[in-house]
Amino acid sequence: MLSEAKSKGLLAQAAEKIQPVGSLVFQREQQRIKKQMEEMRQKALNQMQRSGEQLQMKDKNINKKKQPSSSLIDQQMLLLNEKKSVRDDIPKPLHIGQKHLSFFSIFFLFLSNQISNDLTQQLLNQVDEAIQRAGGIKNFVKQASQAENQSGTSASSHAEGLLFRETEEIKQKLGFLEQKERVAEKMAKITKVKTRAFYCSVCGVISEKRKQICLQLNDEMEELKLKRMNKNNDNDINARVEDERERKINENGMKIHEITQINTWRRFFECSKCHYHITIIHDPFPLFACPKCNNQSSWVQASMYDENKLAKQLKQRGADTFVSTDDKEEDGNNNSRSGGTDRNFLSGRTEFMPLGSEGKKRRSGIDGTEDEEVEY
């Protein structure tokens, strides 16, 4: 057994080694050691109770009337203090030949005071060598913590897999949005596109598709030609009727509508006032007024990408007005006089004027227009 002086010296050396280690790690290890010591004590007490019961059974067999004295329990407590009867319950120390020696297990061995002087010296030498190989106490503590946390690597790997999957999904979504933005940027630079159109020599019109009127007239002319070719009898009444019809058509100047396919340009324009987007074919500039605001000569060359439809910005509407119940009753009277409420929620909100202004109402538009008094 170690003497008190030597044990104190070893504990002092251990304390010097433990000082650089963080306080949190030391507290956790100390709690773990306390739990182990309590378990050892509990096992020792259980063994004492069992031994006492065995002695009682022996006394009964011998037919002794006296109960076992407390001196036996005192002797067992002394044996426990000397740590002779509980050597089997103490956890075995780590094998000396291990590469990664746990520093905290060595500290527990010092506290349990169950190793000889030679073994303690060997362990201290191994600790010094391990610290030198690690390159310092900090690196040694990191290696020890990594060895202890190896049990939780499986859970961390699953968490990493989930994070990797989520990041991949986010990357795919962002990649799709980036492609969409690139296409929008390319379309914003395009102001005209090559296209195919059809030109009618009789009508003098260029359109994207063949006109139905031209096709119908061509069909009629072809039918007349076929009937003329199939005529065999000049005295036939039906043949005379067809001749009259053909004569009238020739008098009116009806001709075959020859439709030819041409390659031309499709151009994009925008109204400078209402930002209405249109497309025209073959013409370099639109020669008509805006169909939305009826504004003439207000066209500006625009891109193929209509930004007004895809990115609409909200405009400031203004402050809301709160009406009390009395005002609502008065408004109801005005409504009955004027013939009921006819509110157009699409154009804006409608506020009725106070008494004395029958037949008028105030309308404020959502698009930011000023309030106007409208008669109805």
Query: Residue 292 is encoded by which pair of tokens?
Result: 């939305």
Amino acid at 63: N
Judged against a pLDDT cut of 80, whether residue 255 lies above it is answered with no
Cα–Cα dist 353/220, whole Å: 65
Task: Return mean pLDDT, the chain.
Answer: 64
Range name among 150-159, 199-208, 299-308 with the lowest pLDDT average: 150-159
20-46, pLDDT tens digit by residue? Answer: 555 556 667 777 777 877 887 787 777
In the block, which residue shows the tokens 């349990």? 112
- What pLDDT score does 339 carry? 42
pLDDT score of 110? 52
Min mean pLDDT across 111-125, 140-154, 178-192 is at 111-125
What local confidence, expressed as pLDDT, does residue 300 receive? 86
- Position 335 scores a pLDDT of 46
Comparing 53 with 210, the larger pLDDT belongs to: 210
Section 120-145 average pLDDT: 70
b/e per residue 284-294 (b: at least 16 CB within 10 A): eebeeebeeee
Reported as a pLDDT band with limits 50, 70 and 90, residue 55 is: low
Neighbours of 269 (CB within 10 A): 19
Q: What is the 3-class SS of the chain, one letter each residue?
A: CCCHHHHHHHHHHHHHHHCCCCHHHHHHHHHHHHHHHHHHHHHHHHHHHHHHHHHHHHHHHCCCCCCCCCHHHHHHHHHHHHCCCCCCCCCCCCCCCCCCCCHHHHHHHHHHCCCCHHHHHHHHHHHHHHHHHHCCHHHHHHHHHHHHHHHHHHHHHHHHHHHHHHHHHHHHHHHHHHHHHHHHHHHHHCCEEEEEEEEECCCCCEECCCCHHHHHHHHHHHHHHHHHHCCCCCCCHHHHHHHHHHHHHHHCCCCCCCEEEEEEEEEEEEECCCCCEEEEECCCCCCCCCCCCCCCCCEEECCCCCHHHHCCCCCCCCCCCCCCHHHHHHHHHHHHHHCCCCCCCCCEEEEECCCCCCCEEEEEECCCCCCEEEEC
